[in-house]
Amino acid sequence: MPMPMPMRPGRRAVLLGGIGGLAAAVVGGCGGGSGPAPSPAPTLRAPTPIPGIRDGVFSLGVASGDPLPDGVILWTRLAPEPMAGGGMPRRDVEVDWQVARDEKFADVVRAGTQLATTSFAHSVHVDVRGLEPGRDYYYRFRAGDVLSPVGRTRTAAAPGSPGGELSFALASCQDFQNGYWPAFDAIAGDRPDLVLHVGDYIYEYDPDSRYPDRRHTTPEKPGLDQLQTLADYRNRYGQYKSDPALQAAHHVAPWVVAWDDHEAENNYAGLVDESGDTGPRHQDPQVFARQRAAAYQAYYEHMPIRAELDPGSPDLRIYRRLTFGDLLTLNVMDTRQYRTPQPGSPPDGIGAVRLGDDNTAGTMSGTAQEAWLVDGLRTSRSRWNVIAQQTMAAQLHGQLPGSEVLTNLDQNDGYVPYRTRLLSAVRDTRVANPVLLAGDIHCAWVNDLRVDFDRPETPVIATEFVCTSISSGFFLVSEDFVRENNARLNPHVRYFRGDLRGYTRVTVTPDEWRADMRVVETIAKRDAPASTDATWVVEAGRPGAQDA
């Protein structure tokens, strides 16, 4: 998808980014039959100080994302005062960028200049193309005479490339106020090929933390426990992205991101704000549309995502498909923007199972996205096929003493006919080795997936891996309650762990999917060791996970 007009490279960026190729064409055209001369390395203009640009302008670090075989998105934002509006002069600023094969930038392959505009909070998105598939690159930015940190990125394998290996981290749910993020330090130490973040990158709540240095920024209207304005969201992203552990994880690998609810408001559905909101917290769809527009713009401004933003619009398409050679196709879903409200509109999302069973008109993806997904499954020739979404697909039932059977209606259990269609498509398209990924629930799961979970005798059609949270707290009744209910009501659950925070580390080869359930010792301090609690394996051609 093309970049929005205010963010497109100007003529200077195009000239600088392509100077090597232009020189090669000129030299080759004038040669005496000896073939084209080697292209000179792309060069940048001389560094020139810019008034108002000072050390600390790259306080939010750098990032890359959405890797293609020949390209990647590079991101940064100029913000010396990231939690106070950014602190930048009220004018656009030219930002230089470089991509090299080595960390010392002795072998530069692409370079250019991009305009960081005030309208997009001085963020920069560079869609670099012309890179080689399946290899590491290093990149950096320069504003005036100030250099950014160096980031590592990696392109996807070329179409038709057989075999190989892909490593990635699956992460979600990083409530800044709930604790520190040693899990991101562990991800940085892994140096994966990719980080897949499936939502809740920020939280919208008012300042309230037992850690004095983890209190949220104060919104323009405190007391609502919500962010509402573009300035609110920008300052909150500035706070989260100032964290050194998060920056370290961005600096080592490209990210593929998708939002869930907290990037806008807890448990929202389409243009319906949180169920149970009353008084000044409640917004009608027209008012909430303005809040969602602010939330989506701030998300775009702070993510290394290939998307086209129309400022002021409450819509932004982020569902997309990425391929990694013949090894893996990644379908990235958006199950917030297009979903219908939770059936029964329960204030806390919890309600009777029958409400989800009877939700025949409900959808989590919308008609267009559902058709897009099914078409992608039908036509895929990849060895592994991944559906990355925000909430757990597997049935999760629970029963308190004396109550009817309950479920979380904000998950797929609230949209059972929709889930049945999705899993039927996985089965009926015969797509190879399907795997579903999710987050949201703040605990780790490995689930066998069936079209009808009430018929455990039917075949397993896919495996689901749900990562625990980076820092957000476990909110189910208790570990023992969940385990007892899983044994009685959810026999398709192969693994569950809710008391520790962390991420899931995945390694994929043509023959095997290996998932390490990674946990950190504590989130009460910045430095804490990470370990593997369990490892689960899916063999190609054999649906269902096996305990390694």
- Predicted confidence (pLDDT) per residue in 67-85, tens digit: 999 999 999 999 999 999 9
**Residue 254 to residue 72: CA distance in whole angstroms:** 8
Amino acid letter, residue 291 = Q
How confident is the model at residue 24, as a pLDDT? 31
| The pLDDT of residue 362 is above 60 | yes
Beta 512-520 vs 502-508: how paired, if at all?
antiparallel
pLDDT at 306 (0 to 100): 98
pLDDT, tens digit, for every residue of 198-238?
999 999 999 999 999 999 999 999 999 999 999 999 999 99
Residue 257: in which H helix or E strand, if any?
strand 255-257
Which of 6-10, 444-448, 450-454 is predicted least confidently?
6-10
Q: Each residue of 139-171: pLDDT tens digit? A: 999 999 999 999 999 999 999 998 899 999 999
Query: Which residue, chain included where needed, has tokens 């001085």?
Result: 122
Joined tokens for residue 536: 């689960």
pLDDT recorded at residue 162: 84
Measure CA 497 to chain center: 22
Tokens of 494: 């192969």
What is the three-state SS of 373-426? Answer: HHHHHHHCCCCEEEEECCCCCCCCEECCCCCCCEEECCCHHHCHHHHHHHHHHH
Q: How many CB atoms within 10 Å of residue 215?
A: 15
Model confidence over 402-429: pLDDT tens digits? 899 999 999 999 999 999 999 999 999 9
Distance between CA atoms of residues 165 and 545, nearest Å: 19
Read off the tokens for 331.
């379908």
Count of beta carbons in the 10 Å neighbourhood of residue 160: 9
Residue 380 or residue 34, greater confidence: 380
The per-residue pLDDT for 9 is 36
Instruction: Give CA torsion, residues 69, 71, 77, 78, to 10 deg.
Output: 140
What are the φ and ψ backbone dihedral angles of 489, each rounded to 5 degrees?
Answer: -120, -20
Q: What is the pLDDT of residue 21?
A: 34
Per-residue confidence (pLDDT) for residue 103, from 0 to 100 = 97
Q: What angle do CA 204, 208, 212 make, to 5 degrees?
A: 120
548/446 Cα distance (integer angstroms):
13
- Backbone dihedral region of 144: left (phi > 0), alpha (psi from -120 to 50 degrees) or beta? left
Which has the closest alpha carbon to 270: 328, 333, 210, 314? Answer: 314
For residue 247, what are the CA distances in angstroms to 150, 183, 187, 240, 273? 11, 12, 11, 9, 31
Mean pLDDT over the full length of the chain: 93
**Angle ∠(200,187,476) on CA atoms, nearest 5:** 40
d(CA 147, CA 68): 26
What is the predicted pLDDT for the residue at 42?
85
Which pLDDT score, from 0 to 100, does residue 393 have? 98
Q: Which of 15-24, 303-312, 505-514 has the lowest mean pLDDT?
A: 15-24
Q: At 429, is the secondary structure helix, strand, or coil?
A: coil
**The two three-digit tokens of residue 37, written as one number:** 């001369």
pLDDT of residue 6 exceeding 60: no
Cβ neighbours, 10 Å, residue 515: 27
Q: Pick from 260, 321, 330, 322: which is nearest to 296 by CA?
A: 260
Say yes or no to pLDDT of 11 above 80.
Answer: no
Per-residue burial over 329-361, b if 16 or more Cβ lie within 10 Å, else e, is bbbbbbbbbbbbbbbbbbeebebbbebbbebee
H/E run at residue 295? helix 285-302
Segment 33-66, tens digit of pLDDT:
444 555 677 888 889 999 989 999 999 999 999 9
State the angle between helix axes of 182-190 and 244-252 in degrees (0 to 180), rounded to the nearest 10.
20
Q: At what angle do helices 367-379 and 416-428 cross, to 10 degrees?
A: 20
Yes or no: say if 126 and 107 are a contact pair by the CB < 8 Å rule.
Answer: no
Integer Cα distance of 309 and 11 in angstroms: 21
Beta bridge partners of 124: 76
In angstroms, how far is CA 371 from the centroid of its own chain?
A: 22
For residue 410, give the nearest of 439, 385, 386 by alpha carbon. 439
